[in-house]
Amino acid sequence: MISITKAPPYLTVQDQGRPGSRASGVPRGGAMDRFALRTLNAIVGNPFGAAGLEWALGGGVTRFDSACAFAFGGAMVAATLAENVVHPFTTLYAHVGDELKIERFTSGRFLYLAFSGGIEVPEVLRSRSTYLPAHFGGLGGRMIARGNTLPLGAYPPAVPRNGFTPPSELLPRYETSVVRVTRGTHAGLFGDGGWTALTETEFTVGMASDRTGYKLTGQALSHAFGDLPSDPSCEGAIQIPSDGNPIVLMADAPTVGGYPKIAVVSEADLPLVAQLNPGERLTFTPVSIDESQHALRQRTSDLNLIRSAGAASA
Amino acid sequence: MSDAPLRAQPLGDSAATITFGAVRSAELLRSVHAAAAAISEASLGVVQDIVPAYLSVAVYYDALEISYDEIARVLLSICRSVPVSSDRPARGREHEIPVVYDGSDLPGVAAATGLSAEEVVARHSGRTYSVDLIGFVPGFAYLSELDPSLHLSRRAQPRPRVPAGSVAIAGPQTAVYPLDTPGGWHILGHTQTLMFDPDNTPPALLQAGDSVRFVRVG
């Protein structure tokens, strides 16, 4: 079990989301940076789908009420465990009573913490992820507050050794702000000019950005056809509302929508978008669906290599 | 629908949409729902979700198991084998939803339509609606088609909070708000029926293609 002794302004339980209920209007949800959480799960010997903490907007303190292995990563933070400086994407063994202090964020937006055994809140619709808009999943469908305790599941069989860190080339990289996109279902409506504007403009993440979507500014992509009949959407879809400023749909976006979708962010690069704060910039570069799916498979293969390396160290 | 100009497109790395036409119609919607049912009946192991909408159906799949080109080929083949909609009987479950017609917009709707409140209620509860689409929030079902005399544009000022269970109308459609959300539809009444329950499978009471009658209980 772990306890939150000082909560950051945003803290929820998340996993890889809940596909399977979109026909009922339930978004996939789950971690905003799903690759960071999957990487951390591999580093503590968990299945990729185990639940961890999604943490944002400031520092806080977690106390270990039982000994366990854990790891953190995603956003860059200054952190200590029992007063010793600790590093991201590294297997760390905590003793009973140890405190993990997240002092501050230095870059990025969403920090993830994975604990060996995973956070064992009840599953709702086959997922432990918190869906705040409808108040279900995670810890009673709400944000985690100071004083809350979270149960951990059974210790997994092969936890990597203390201090294990995967080869750096396998870890998530956030240095680039060039994000791959494939053509969206309405790309044709914007013509060559719209596509060129999307892929040659530097956009800035706006203040209106949350788990539902990130509003961008840079160049308005005008279109003359108004709203369309609602049609299915997905995480990463770049939709263009009537003011022309793109919105990148994120984990909790509705399953259908009436704004035209000019492009979709490659899943392998969605973490790059998720980790951007308001005021930070990005550009989009076009790839084919084959290239985009290849990138997704490459990332998944990297995760499997991390798991193998961790198991070998156990 | 072997003559229909079906079109497959990727929707990101893990979904494909099959589009049935460019103009929204009740007939096209029946084709989409029939195709969604046929894809579901095919029980493809790589498929995670099937979401029908007005012009297209989206199929969400495991891109680690199958490529876009392969799934598109499979889906087009299934959709082409679905009989034309008019030959296919209506599918889906039938629901009766009890409604207390005490909504705060009932007098305003009566005034705007030139009908008595009693007549508004009679026209709203006097027909069978079909579930066009699920979306906006979990369990929100867009139902059509409202009696033409009740077609009103949305409220100029959306409400910041519409209580769950509110029965409302806008344009040619009616709906029950499944959760407390902001909303701009005209509220005619409320129901105790639970429209969304995450402990149920599926969690939404109504699914695309179902039919609904509202029964006046007050």
Delimit the domains of chain A by residue range: 2-165, 178-296
Among the partner-chain residues B9, B48, B133, the one whose CB lies closest to the CB of A185 is: B9
Inter-chain residue contact B11 with A255, CB threshold 8 Å: no
Mind listing the pLDDT tens digit for each residue in B41-61? 999 999 999 999 999 999 999
Asked whether B119 and B188 are in contact (CB, 8 A), the reply is no
**Going by DSSP bridges, is the β-strand pair A261-265/A237-239 parallel, antiparallel, or unpaired?**
antiparallel
In this predicted structure, the answer to whether residue B84 has a pLDDT above a threshold of 70 is no
pLDDT of res. B156: 86
ipTM tops the 0.85 cut: yes
Min Cα separation B30/chain A (Å): 15
Min Cα separation A256/chain B (Å): 6
Quote the strand ranges of A117-276, DSSP E: 149-150, 178-183, 203-209, 213-217, 231-232, 237-239, 247-249, 256-257, 261-265
With cut-offs at 50, 70 and 90, classify the pLDDT of residue A275.
very high
Element (H, E) at B131: strand B128-134
CATH level 3 topology of A178-296: Cyclophilin (2.40.100)
Quote the strand ranges of A82-227, DSSP E: 84-85, 92-94, 99-115, 149-150, 178-183, 203-209, 213-217
- Mean of per-residue pLDDT scores for chain A: 96
Q: How far apart are alpha carbons A151 and A174 in whole angstroms?
A: 31
Chain B interface, mutation test: which of A18, A181, A231, most B Cβ atoms within 10 Å?
A231
Mind listing the pLDDT tens digit for each residue in A38-86? 999 999 999 999 999 999 999 999 999 999 999 999 999 999 999 999 9
pLDDT of res. B88: 53
Q: How far apart are alpha carbons A261 and A114 in whole angstroms?
A: 34
Q: How far apart are alpha carbons A22 and A71 in whole angstroms?
A: 31
Among the partner-chain residues B10, B53, B56, the one whose CB lies closest to the CB of A182 is: B10
- Using an 8 Å CB-CB cutoff, list chain B residues near A133: 137, 179, 181
In angstroms and rounded to an integer, the radius of gyration of the C-alpha atoms of chain B is 19
- Using an 8 Å CB-CB cutoff, list chain B residues near A251: none
Q: How far apart are alpha carbons B5 and A282 in whole angstroms?
A: 37
Unique residue bearing structure tokens 């978004």: A27
Alpha-carbon B157 to chain mean position = 24
DSSP state of A268: G
Domains for chain B: give ranges and CATH numbers. 7-80 (3.30.1360.40), 94-216 (2.40.100.10)
Amino acid at A175: E
The dihedral formed by the CA atoms of A256, A257, A258 and A262, expressed in degrees to the nearest 10: -100
Mind listing the pLDDT tens digit for each residue in A219-241? 999 877 767 889 999 999 999 99
